Amino acid sequence: MPVRRLNHAVLFVRDVKASVAFYDEVLGFAPIEGMAELKGAAFLRAPSSTNDHDLGLFEVGAQAAASGAGRATVGLYHLAWEVETLADLVEVADRLSARGALAGATDHATTKALYGKDPDGLEFEVMWLVPADRLTPEILAARDKLLPLDLDAEIERFGADTVGGLGISVPAPA
C-alpha cells in the first residue's frame, strides 16, 4: 500500500512551551484542547487541517545538545509545510523575519520556499506550489536550479491570492 502524504511530525525540543508559542505565533499551529495537559508534550494542529494533530512536541530539557544532523550525524534535514497562496507565504516571511528565524528563501521553479529555524535551531520549510495549469516549459526546465526567491516578482507573475497546486506540482499526463 503506497504512502499518500505526511500526516504529522513529532519533534524533540528543549522547552515545549517556547516551541508551542513559536509554532503558534509563526505558523498558526494551535494546541489541541484536551491534549495540552500532557506533561512535557504538546500536540498542535495547522489552521486549515482536519488531522487529529499535525505536530507533536516532546520536551527533553535545556541540557539537550543541538542536533548534529547533516553536520556530524545522520538525521532529518527539514519538513515542508504548504501554504495556499503567495500572500500566505509573505505573511509567514514577515513573521519569521520579525522573530529573526528566517534562514533563507529559494525559488525552486515549481515551488517557492522559505526556510526557518525554530527555537532549537531545527530547520523547516514553508512553501507554495505553482498550480499545474500555470506550469510552463520554462518553469519545468528550471526545476534543477536554486535561485533566490523574489516574492514581489512571483506575486506579480502569479497573483497574491492564486491558490497553489496543493500537492500537485507537475502537469497531468495528456
Instruction: Render pLDDT for 13-29 as a digit per residue (tens, 0 to 9).
Output: 999 999 999 999 999 99
Taking phi over 0 as left and psi of -120 to 50 as alpha, with beta for the rest, 119 belongs to alpha
Domain termination residue (choose one: 36, 61, 86): 61
pTM confidence score: 0.90
Contact 96, 104 (CB under 8 A): no
- Whether 94 and 157 share a structural domain: yes
Residue 85 lies in a domain: yes
Distance in angstroms (rounded) separating the CA atoms of residues 47 and 69: 29
Distance in angstroms (rounded) separating the CA atoms of residues 42 and 48: 18
Query: What total of structural domains would you count in the chain?
Result: 2
Reference 15, options 96, 95, 117, 120; nearest CA is 120
Residue 168 lies in a domain: no
Distance in angstroms (rounded) separating the CA atoms of residues 132 and 103: 28
pLDDT, tens only, 115-169 = 999 999 999 999 999 998 999 999 989 988 999 999 999 999 999 999 998 666 5
Q: What is the pLDDT of residue 74?
A: 92
Q: Nine-digit cell at 85?
A: 497562496
Q: What's the CATH number where 158 sits?
A: 3.10.180.10
Residue 131 lies in a domain: yes
- Whether 89 and 139 share a structural domain: yes
- Whether 57 and 130 share a structural domain: no
In terms of residues, how long is the chain?
A: 174
Range of the domain at 98: 76-162
* Helix/strand/coil for 27: helix
Name the percent of the chain lying above pLDDT 70: 92
Q: What is the pLDDT of residue 128?
A: 96
- Whether 53 and 98 share a structural domain: no
